[in-house]
Chains A and B, each alone.
Chain A
Amino acid sequence: MNRTRRQRAVTYLGLSLGLALVAGPFLWTALSSLKPEREIRRDPPTFWPETWTLDNFGELFGRVDLGTAFANSLIIALVLVATNLLFCSMVGYAFAKLSFRGKRLAFGLVLVQLAIPAIVLVVPQFVLIAKLGLVNTFLGIILPTVVAPLGVFMMRQFISDLPDELIDAARVDGARELRIFFRIILPLCGPPLATLGLITFLGAWNNFLWPAVVAQSEDMYTLPVALNILNDFEGTHYNLLVAGSVVVIAPILFLFVLLQRFFVQGIATTGLK
């Protein structure tokens, strides 16, 4: 009895130490962003701020147009969430429940796209976007990820498990496929759609490489792109950098903690199947 209790104490100690190591960098960054610049640079530095201030954020927003970058990130993420919810479930439904020639081949393409690394596509995709006249546009940033293969895969897995009788009954009643999809299938897809929406939002919000390539002027930057530019030009002004880091990270942390059960479900279903 005594031995298991001691083991348990050691387990909790280890877990807490781990959590301190994981949370430490976030806490340190967040607290630093609320200190005046001279306190950040003081030797030895304080951990807990002596003077609390929002000056860093004020200066940051004066230096780069983070308001616009924030809005851009939000617009792009929300549009991608909408397109992915609609298209991934449509495509997933067809792969799960419709029979058509070449279905296996088409589904193979989903897996192929999952396997192509982003960096490999950057140059030719950029050439394509340039030919289409979409450089420095939202459309250029959004188009390649309008239907993500992972989302198609997820929705197919889920819809496959829905009973065929539902669809057959509707077909007997003479319902068209589009109507069946919107009226019968989609309303049953709440949980995977929630997961897909959150995964898509996260991916779009955090995506750096492609927006950095397509966005060429400050009014088109997304938050990570703007933060990277800030890092290039103000690389030693840590008061601005930590504030910028907080602006990029905090909304996502907030969203995640609020909706985490969908993420865990999502990983359990997509990661393992």
Chain B
Amino acid sequence: MAVLTRQAPPTQAPVKVRSTLRRSGVGWLFVAPFVVLFAVFYLGPLLVGIGMSFTDMRSTDVADPLAVDVVGVENYLRLMNDAAMRRAAVNTVVFVVTALPLTIGLGLAAAVLLNSGIARLPAAFFRLGYYLPNITSIIGVAVAWKFLLEPQAGLVNRLLELAGIAGPNWLQSESTALPAIIVMTAWRSFGFDMVVLLAALQTIPRELYEAAEVDGAGRWARFHAVTLPALRPVLLFCTVYSSVGFMQFLEEPLVMTGGGPLNSTLSASLAIFDQFGVGNYGYAGAASTVLFTVIVALAVLQLRLGRNR
């Protein structure tokens, strides 16, 4: 009603009301493709997924989903006692906590270098180069890195050999497999943070730096007092965006290690994917619900902390 009264002054009510009503219908007609799709493919499945997590549904129940038994929180209890799932949770936390600062740090370093007064054309060239890994297929990149890290024929160990170091069997060793995947992820992802941070850096007025220099601030002091505060909102954006993405990492271990050796690279998403693969839909649904909750909670927490400080 608010819409009608706002848009239709009483003097010309009859004509305008009809046209506004028509336009309201038109509005919903225009957004219908999105709303219908959202209801059918997102909201519905999200709710069904949560519902499924309280049942013992398996792949064989798809033909008759209502025939499944409700098992309450059994799947959630099983989750807590599942060594592989616990390992997956730990790996995911380790992955996010290390890959996040590494990625944003590299992105920031690249952005600062590109913004330090070098000529336009080389800057555009480097920016393009650094951004490239970001737009490539993660499966393609993971396959390439698997070869790169191959102990005999791989480039990494050959270069280490030139430096007189015997490189490990990166992806087959429990202590190096996850770190290798973390480095690859930072390599692939930092270009995005660089572009976003660079755009923000370019909006910082030069006068601020000049004023700081007049006050006797050195390079580091200027970075600390001028650059970092100005980048705060963008750094927050990068942190939230990357953590949401990193919390779901799946393709890298799937291709490079299959989650091994001994689950040392099993991620939460990959564990869910594996459960789905063997047909444990109810159990996979419970794990998904937990992951979803954690991701949303983490994003909200980061936004709160980031805004308050």
Partner-B contacts on A (CB < 8 A)? 7-8, 11-12, 14-15, 18-19, 21-26, 28-29, 32, 40-45, 47, 87, 90-91, 93-95, 98-103, 106, 109-110, 112-113, 115-128, 130-131, 143-144, 146-147, 149, 152, 177-178, 181, 202, 205-206, 208-209, 213, 223-224, 227-228, 231, 238, 241-242, 244-245, 248-249, 252-253, 256-257, 260, 263-264, 267-268, 271-272
Q: Are A122 and B276 in contact (CB under 8 A)?
A: yes
Q: Are A100 and B28 in contact (CB under 8 A)?
A: yes
Contacts of B276 in A (CB 8 A): 122-123, 126, 213
Contacts of A109 in B (CB 8 A): 34-35, 38, 43
Interface of A, secondary structure class, is helix
Q: Chain A interface: which of B73-81, B114-122, B208-216?
A: B114-122
B1-30 interface (Cβ within 8 A of A) = 3, 7, 20, 23-28, 30
A-B contact count (CB 8 A): 280
- Chain B's closest residue to A16 (CB) is B126
Cα of A175 to Cα of B111 in the assembled complex, Å? 48
Q: Chain A interface: which of B93-101, B173-181, B221-229, B282-290?
A: B282-290
Contacts of B24 in A (CB 8 A): 99-101
Q: Are B295 and A123 in contact (CB under 8 A)?
A: no
- Chain A's closest residue to B45 (CB) is A124
Cα of A127 to Cα of B63 in the assembled complex, Å? 9
Given contacts A116-B42, A121-B45, contact A99 B269 (CB under 8 A): no
Partner-A contacts on B (CB < 8 A)? 3, 7, 20, 23-28, 30-31, 33-35, 37-38, 40-46, 48-49, 52, 62, 65, 110, 113-114, 116-118, 122, 126-133, 135-141, 143-148, 150, 152-153, 155, 158, 161, 187, 191-192, 195-196, 199-200, 234, 237, 244, 247-248, 250-251, 254-255, 269, 272-273, 276, 281, 284-285, 288-289, 291-292, 295-296, 299
Contacts of A144 in B (CB 8 A): 37, 41-42
Q: Chain A nearest CB: distance from B128 CB in Å? A: 6
Contacts of B136 in A (CB 8 A): 206, 248-249, 252-253
Q: Chain A nearest CB: distance from B190 CB in Å? A: 9
Which of B42, B144, B200 is the one whose CB lies under 8 Å from A245?
A: B144
Q: Are B195 and A264 in contact (CB under 8 A)?
A: yes
Which of A23, A248, A257, A267 is the one whose CB lies under 8 Å from B196?
A: A267
Given contacts A99-B3, A101-B3, A146-B37, contact A22 B137 (CB under 8 A): no
